[in-house]
């Protein structure tokens, strides 16, 4: 049985992935959250519970050490923990931006460092990093969030090449709009000065986000991402990238084909 460590399972994509993977007889899944009380109900799916805060060194070290004590190594790491801090570049609270990077980037990187020695000793392993279509394109008002996901993409691409000789695979999952609490949290963080120069842009971004997340043709459920994570975890030869939702694939390819200025023009129409 392979051991799977998933971060950020208290809600949304992480919770759906933990529940789906824990039902597989070939996997022992460790669902984690800062407070295990938030994920106790996942025990009914067969998942094991561990406290884990990806912004705390002692917490990360203890979680990995406990799995290695029980099983020898972490076979699969799913770096899912993350959230969106939105707002204009000029007006965003830089301390909040730092906290976002601690979770989205530095926590992911440090936990990866902690599991890799065990994976190398075993001669096998798999790391699945949850990025976003926002790691391939940028919308106004989300620059700092997008920057964190671009960082995840770069780390993953370098890591994949570095660890392949040790039998370790690295995949990136890039969801589009997913109906979780993400949209609400991102909307709350917009918070521009109500009398400032970006108030019109912020209002337009807020309207567009609300409308898009409410549209079932654009936004999928967390389980749609969980199914893709399952493929990335269990495939004999996993893809380097998995884009989730048709709308996300269309946007990513549109940005790639049209280039920066044309995509900017589309955004000006959408967020006017």
Provide the annotated active-site residues. Answer: 145
Q: Which two structure tokens, joined as six digits, stand for 6?
A: 């998933």
Least Cα distance to 204 among 190, 218, 216 occurs for 190
Annotate the chain with three-state secondary structure.
CEEEEECCCCCHHHHHHHHHHHCCCCEEEEEEECCHHHHHHHHHHCCEEEECCCCCHHHHHHHHHHHHHHHCCCCEEEECCCCCCCCCCCCCCHHHHHHHHHHHHHHHHHHHHHHHHHHHHHCCEEEEEECCHHHCCCCCCCHHHHHHHHHHHHHHHHHHHHHHHHCEEEEEEEECCECCCHHHHHHHHHCCCCCCCCHHHHHHHHHHHHHHHCCCCCCECHHHHHHHHHHHHHCCCCCCEEEECHHHHHHHHHHHHHCHHHHHHHHHHHCC
């Amino acid at each position: 049985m392979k051991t799977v460590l998933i971060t950020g399972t208290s809600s949304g994509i992480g919770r759906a992935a933990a529940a789906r993977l824990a039902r597989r007889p070939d996997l022992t899944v460790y669902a984690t959250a800062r407070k295990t009380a938030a994920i106790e109900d996942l025990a009914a799916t067969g998942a094991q519970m561990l406290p884990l805060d990806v912004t705390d060194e002692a917490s990360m070290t203890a979680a990995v050490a406990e799995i290695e004590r029980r099983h020898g190594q972490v076979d699969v790491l799913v770096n899912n923990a993350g959230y969106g801090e939105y707002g204009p570049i000029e007006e965003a609270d830089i301390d909040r931006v730092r906290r976002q990077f601690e979770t989205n980037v530095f926590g992911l990187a440090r936990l990866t460092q902690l599991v890799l020695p065990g994976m190398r000793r075993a001669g096998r392993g798999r790391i699945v990093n949850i990025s976003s279509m926002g790691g391939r394109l940028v919308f106004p008002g989300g620059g700092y969030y997008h920057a964190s996901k671009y960082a995840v993409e770069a780390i993953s691409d370098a890591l994949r090449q570095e660890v392949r000789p040790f039998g370790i695979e690295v995949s990136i999952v890039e969801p589009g709009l997913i109906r979780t609490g993400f949209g609400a949290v991102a909307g709350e963080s917009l918070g521009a000065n109500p009398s400032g120069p970006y108030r019109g842009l912020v209002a337009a971004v807020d309207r567009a986000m609300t409308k898009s997340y409410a549209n079932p043709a654009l936004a999928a459920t967390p389980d749609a991402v969980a199914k893709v994570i399952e493929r990335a975890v269990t495939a004999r030869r996993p893809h380097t990238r998995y884009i989730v939702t048709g709308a996300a694939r269309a946007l990513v390819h549109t940005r790639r084909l049209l280039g920066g200025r044309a995509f900017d023009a589309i955004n000006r129409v959408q967020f006017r």
